[in-house]
Structure 1
Amino acid sequence: MAQEVRGVIAPGKNEPVRIETIVVPDPGPGEAVVKVQACGVCHTDLHYKQGGINDDFPFLLGHEAAGVVESVGAGVTDVAPGDFVILNWRAVCGNCRACRRGRPWYCFSTHNATQKMTLASTGQELSPALGIGAFAEKTLVAAGQCTKVDPAAAPAVAGLLGCGVMAGIGAAINTGNVGRGDSVAVIGCGGVGDAAIAGSRLAGAEKIIAVDIDDRKLTTAKSIGATHTVNSKDTDPVEAIRELTGGFGADVVIEAVGRPETYKQAFYARDLAGTVVLVGVPTPEMKLELPLLDVFGRGGSLKSSWYGDCLPSRDFPMLINLYLQGRLDLEAFVTETIGLDDVEKAFERMHGGDVLRSVVVL
């Protein structure tokens, strides 16, 4: 029996979000209905609202979510009603060329629910953000988008692994291969950048240099694990990073802004044969120009990190266990908890730069 629930939609480009009644169908084969307990307000949701992803309005926003499986469709065996899960947007297919080569974190054919949620008032189909749509009391997803984790974890922190925190931690551990004794620089200390700092600390980095133009963000970065901070509004970050690394540059530089200017800083702030990881998301019109001789002469690796190159079934339970052991402070990423009615205000606060994450708690 289809259900009607409250949800937050973006009706059109740059229009204020609003609460609507959403129709959630019963799960079909390979699908699950999840009762959402908490969902973080991510920059990607703002990009959807601004038309920066595509123009498939109206969008059902929200994707950094945790909740409890309410029902499953035919053929679902990995999760069952009552399971506490984190939702993910990498439900690996198992059959594409990446999966067949043993690299499922690059899966090129991830699953979403086949059925559509709709507006109760008009029957119009909704486009769920990243195939999830979790600013709602319940949502319909592919069962593979549900990753079962220890229910002892608080939903407000567990859900953050569904996107931003996983992206940052994975950029350090999975993509950057940060190891014991490494030096790391992180350019951009929002939620993803701070998560990269936390990931570098977990990996045993000796020196972690946080770079930003906002002293408030640098203070937070220090509390999460940065050993040094650089305000790049006042100081050349490339020179500062080199000075802090014996004149050589960092072993790994993680660019968490997604701009050509900061990417160039990352490129020149790394040691010879060092690694640059781009995890900040650029906009379509941005272009990068680098002397090809410098690319050749400096060696090393230039990498992009998609979702922290994570495999949810492997990484989510591991990180939740580290959180429960007190080794990963996920609470530090939650600035405030809010209700569904406060999402528009949360987007405004995001512009002000004074939150890591607003989290909708249902």
Structure 2
Amino acid sequence: MTRRLTQQDIARMAGVSQTTVSLVLNNRAEGEARISSETRERVLSVIRETGYVADPVARRLAEGRNRILGVFTYEAVFPAGSADFYHPFLVGIEERAEDIGCDLLLFTSARASGERRRIFNQESRVRLADGCVLLGRTIDRDDLARLLAERIPFVSVGRRDDAGGPVPYVGADYPAAVRELVERAIRLGHRRLAYVGAGEGAESYADRLRGFTEGSRGVERLHLRAAGLDDLLDAGVTAAFVEESADGVALVRAAGERGVRVPGDLSILALGALTRPVRTDIDFAGFRIPRQEMGRRAVELLADVLEHGGTPQELLPCEPVEGATLAPVHGER
């Protein structure tokens, strides 16, 4: 791992004191100290050649914060259309940052060769910001561990497991939302339920499956990583809980082609919003993720971390959606 340059490194390469480097970076002189134009240019030349970026935490100690918050996304979400899954998060982040008088710096270029985006690489500029909001279905655990180890202020949008220590986050309370949805289906007479999706990998998937498992105790339940309409019908499933709403759209369309009634013959419940671009007007039973509020709250928590430190962790409730794809099973009407 490449060591981050420090002011001491710049001072050594420029042949000056660390105090001189600090004064040049802050564009000021202290007391009787005066820096010649030649010395200033020598320091600036080394800074340009090395690509050195001053640690904003250290700069805050000298003259206050930059009032710049970073947004790092592991998904390609810029620019975002109004129908994009991440758009409400970004709206909430922007609104709250504007409220508290901070600018946003969008980090979109930190991609390792041939790999997915990473926060840290040789050209990482995450320290340009006072702190950072992280967005993405999955976030690299090595990145999280390094952020914690180097005490870089950040807040994740979405619950994250420990990564060498507790991770600050604001997430959606998926276990409670899914559990409530399952219990609703059981009250309507459903006794053979299926969870369709990975149920692992991203914490949000694991949380959904946990809510399904907790809510379906006492009835028959299946976990199918992938399932077509025939798989569900052959298993006698009467209510399918679909991790990815786009898969629910595919099931509804397949049912229509086969003459299977939704929800008369098969109820299909969506565990969140569409994350893949699919055109549909299906009114799914399910819940609404508080995406805009999560974005706003992430900025509020980050501001609190910058001011007081700590590791805040919050889960926001999801709003139930009645929808039109859940009905009582035959004989329970």
Larger Rg: 2
TM over 0.5: no
**TM-score, reference length from structure 1:** 0.35
Higher helix share: 2
